[in-house]
Structure 1
Amino acid sequence: MTAVGAQFTEDQLREMIQGPGEEWTYEMRRQCQEILPNLFLGPLQASKSLEALKSLGITHILCIRDAKEAFSVRPRFPEQFRYMVLDVEDNEEQNLIRLFPRAKEFIDNALARGGRALVHCNGGISLSPAFVVMYVMQYYRLSWEDALHLVQNRRYCISPNGGFLTQIKEYESIYKANLVVGTFPAQERMSRRKREDDEDDNDRPTDDRKRALVDGDEDDAMQS
């Protein structure tokens, strides 16, 4: 799904980041919240009630878990919803950026098909929120701070660990660099590639030069 941040004014984005401003209660930690239109974030508890999932119109569930939690954090209704399971170590050394493209593709496909996606981990506090913050950042073309605030203003209890937060910051540079590369006109990219190919060709002997050398060797051989 294409990022849509450019379609909003700065004031509209600020209002979006601030969120609905509803009063937060402790009980809401056990529920999921809508972060973007049709994208929900929550804990394991939110994925266990078939009735609640159906009432929200959920069609896709991204289950992010530490491998040692597999016995409890798992797809519960595979016949009802489309699932993706990501086994991730819930520690500060875990590389989330490497895994994020798979999560993004799953969410993109869900939303592009008019579906509604739930992203959850065990507690919905650190692991799954980190993925959702990165998704929101790229979706709205936000800074990492604004993306974090947008998610936090809808699910107040999130708190990505220090390692995840560092990677969230790093991802801002990555997605912005990809945007810059994507803005180069196709013709310019082709011209640049052609120049590079020409330079490579100049560094190698041409077929004509090779043929001349071979012919010369044959003439010498015949004369001798």
Structure 2
Amino acid sequence: PGLTPGASLLAGGYERFSSEYPEFCAKTKSLSNVSPPTSAEPLDLGCSSCGTPLHDQGGPVEILPFLYLGSAYHAARRDMLDPRGLTPLFSSDCPNHFEGHYQYKCIPVEDNHKADISSWFMEAIEYIDSVKECCGRVLVHCQAGISRSATICLAYLMMKQRVKLEEAFEFVKQRRSIISPNFSFMGQLLQFESQVLATSCAVEAVSPSGTLRERGKA
């Protein structure tokens, strides 16, 4: 009584059915055995009860030996900056807490679907390269270290390592799992990808390059 005509109850539930007829069941992949890369700095998920937002937990993560990614909270903690040798700080519209002690570079980009972050890509890439040439280390950050700063890091990898957005995204996500550029930024990165790959065809034809993981050591 109360059941819709034609409906039946599955004796033994899904577990019994899946064991007897696995071919009719969709399989899902488990990530329980996937370990983060040894170079990554895992977030302390157990700290959620202390009130610290997920994006502020842990510390700045190394993307390349001279390029780090983090949040505004990380940029305000000298105990996180100094041990890593992070003196130049590249930010997206965030306050400069230690004027005179660190070098600051800021681009006025908001995290919304109207912002044109791609117009700042080349300036950001040139700045990061200038830090690299001086054997320094730069922290690229925004408020949460999820969208704007991640977008800048992705653009840098795509341009300098000559890789597609998909490969760059996976590379960065392995190091800071919570990155999530907004939809508009992803679209701008895809447009940037087409520009980068178009200019790199001749270069790769002469000197084939390796994977991003191999080239990231340079």
TM > 0.5: yes
Q: TM-score, normalised by structure 1?
A: 0.66
Structure 1 portions without partners, runs of 5+: 1-17, 66-72, 186-224
Q: Does 1:43 align with 2:71?
A: yes
Give the structure with the larger helix fraction.
Answer: 1
Corresponding residue number in structure 1 for 2:163: 142
Equivalent residue for 2:184, pick from 163, 181, 193: 163
Give the CA deviation at 1:24. Answer: 4.1
Structure 1 counterpart SS, 2:119: coil
Give the CA deviation at 1:22. Answer: 6.2
CA distance in 2, matches of 1:178, 1:170: 13
Quickly say closer, same or farther: Cα 1:86–1:152, change in 2 above 3 A. same
Corresponding residue number in structure 2 for 1:4: none
CA distance in 2, matches of 1:22, 1:77: 25
Corresponding residue number in structure 2 for 1:83: 104
CA distance in 2, matches of 1:158, 1:52: 20
Quickly say closer, same or farther: Cα 1:143–1:183, change in 2 above 3 A. closer
Structure 2 counterpart SS, 1:59: strand
Corresponding residue number in structure 1 for 2:17: none
Matched residues, number = 161
Quickly say closer, same or farther: Cα 1:107–1:23, change in 2 above 3 A. closer
CA distance in 2, matches of 1:94, 1:157: 21
Structure 1 counterpart SS, 2:105: strand
CA distance in 2, matches of 1:113, 1:142: 25
Q: Does 1:115 align with 2:141?
A: no
RMSD: 2.2
Q: Deviations over 1:62-102 (max 9, x none)?
A: 0112xxxxxxx211112122110111021112112111111
Equivalence map 1:47-66=2 (5 Å): 47-65=75-93
Structure 2 portions without partners, runs of 5+: 1-35, 48-53, 207-218
Quickly say closer, same or farther: Cα 1:168–1:19, change in 2 above 3 A. farther
Quick one: higher RCO (CA 8 Å, sep 6+), 1 or 2?
1
Equivalence map 1:187-206=2 (5 Å): none
Q: Percent identity?
A: 30
CA distance in 2, matches of 1:121, 1:138: 21
Give the CA deviation at 1:182. Answer: 6.9
Contact 2:41 2:61 in 1 (8 A): no
